[in-house]
């Protein structure tokens, strides 16, 4: 899971409107490109977004790692279950 999709998942779980999250930091179109993995953001904007999400860098990295682990488990166990079905 990349940075943009992790940000989007946190935003959704916290019920934060996109407009409140991005404010004057970036355009809505640029935000969508980031969350879809089509664009990058500056470090300054990244930390600004984390602040607006009220998430520390450590929390963000932990969430991102947990999501990656779930995705890997889904791929591994999903594939093996199909194999044995």
- Domain of 78, in residue numbers: 3-84
Q: Are 49 and 22 in contact (CB under 8 A)?
A: yes
Tell me the C-alpha distance between 68 and 64, whole Å. 6
- Phi-psi group of 42: left, alpha or beta (phi > 0 → left; psi -120 to 50 → alpha; rest → beta): beta
Tens digit of pLDDT for each residue in 22-31?
A: 998 899 999 9
Q: Are 42 and 11 in contact (CB under 8 A)?
A: no
Q: For the chain, how many structural domains are there in total? A: 1
Tens digit of pLDDT for each residue in 71-82?
A: 777 767 665 444
**pTM of the predicted protein model:** 0.81
Output the domain CATH number for residue 29. Answer: 1.10.260.40
């Amino acid at each position: 899971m990349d940075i943009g999709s992790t940000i989007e998942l946190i935003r959704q779980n916290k019920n934060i409107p996109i407009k409140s999250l991005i404010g004057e930091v970036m355009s809505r179109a640029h935000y969508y490109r980031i969350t879809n993995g089509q664009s990058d953001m500056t470090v300054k904007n990244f930390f600004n977004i984390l602040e607006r999400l009220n998430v520390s860098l450590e929390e963000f990295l932990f969430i991102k790692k947990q999501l990656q682990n779930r995705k890997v488990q889904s791929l591994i166990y999903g594939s093996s279950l199909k194999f044995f079905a």
